[in-house]
Amino acid sequence: MPRIRPWSGAVLIGPLLLTGCTGWMPRLPELPRLPGQPERGNVRISDAGPTPPLQPSNNVIVDAVAKVGPAVVRIDTTKRVINPLGGLFGRGPTIQEQQGQGSGFITRSDGVLLTNAHVVDGASEVSVTLPDGRSFTGKVLGSDPLTDVAVVKVVATDLPVAPLGDSAKLRPGEWAIAIGNPLGLDNTVTAGIISAIQRTNAVGEGQRVPYIQTDAAVNPGNSGGPLINDRGQVIGINTAIRQAPGAGLSFAVPINVAKQIAAQIIERGYASHPYIGVRLQALTPQLAREINATTDQCRLPEVNGVVVVDVMQGSPAAKGGLKACDLIESVGGRKVRNPSEVQLAVDQGRVGEPLDVVVRRGSGTSSLEIRPAELPRQD
């Protein structure tokens, strides 16, 4: 890039000649002072009166962040992965390290914190940094990929904790405040409202989480951080975003679900999920007409609902008498309208305990007793 040499002489700007030496410069004539104009150096710029001192404001977002913010942490992870080309023709090391970052929040003063399972998944090293600058090595006590909840422990005492709220009491339109470390920017606060609750189709059918939907800005790095209400209570764990033209949509795991999963992880290192062993299909009047016209196996009512497509052999559903072509109306006393609601209702049951399932079969209705089994864990 060419270098610009400073001139030692004069620079012409408009009609005036400015020089770099200390010699003569042209002197402009003084303008006459107008009547009433103050003396030079005493010019008044504004007629406004003095501003009274600011009083402390009752900003609910500021107050809420002040309660939870000290307990929100940054989580840095290192994952060691095998390079399939490592050592072959000099294409890098056999083992490579991948760096990751997310958020979390402390729930117990002795160093227990919650985050997303995908934040710490496969991590060989976990580092936890508090807003006050303290840093600790974290140990993953366990994680549950089905709900995307994980528990991390650090060796410490007297840590700040985030108060936990009750996600069952949420209503659309309430304040929703996200705190986390998006894109490496620590302690970032964004705010919006709760757009919807019990969102069962946020990340596809058959999910086990009734997500909280918000319009608070969430980006990579926010994962695992808290979603809080205007009272400074954690109501969810920020976990997923969906990009859309004009705006993004964010989703959080309800804190009641997270507490249930975390309690199991702390107690035994993993979370247990019940299952009954069926394949389901959302039914519409149009689909019912097509099925009735093309097969004699099922005679389905032309309604919206959930139909059993297949029952696994030897499964709890098979043992309980559930059959293909059954239309599921309720599970555990809860009306169901789609496969996700069936999954969520089953997940509210307990392994080995009876679960009432009401089905429409042919022209009649049957009440079945099914005892869910424990879903095999994926190692």
Q: How far is CA 178 from the centre of its chain?
A: 9
Beta carbons within 10 angstroms of residue 342's beta carbon: 23
Residue 310 known to be catalytic: no
Catalytic option among 118, 121, 356, 366: 118
Q: Which positions ≥6 away from 117 have C-beta within 8 Å?
A: 143, 144, 145, 147, 148, 149, 150
Residue 223 known to be catalytic: yes
Q: Which positions ≥6 away from 263 have C-beta within 8 Å?
A: none
Q: Which positions ≥6 away from 200 have C-beta within 8 Å?
A: 207, 210, 211, 338, 340, 341, 344
Catalytic option among 148, 250, 326, 347: 148
What distance in Å separates the CA atoms of residue 219 and residue 241, rounded to the nearest whole number?
7
| CA distances to 74, 82, 211, 230, 265 from 175, in Å | 24, 44, 16, 6, 30
Catalytic option among 143, 167, 223, 340: 223
Cβ atoms 345, 335 nearer than 8 A: no
Residue 118 known to be catalytic: yes
Report the catalytic residues.
Answer: 118, 148, 223
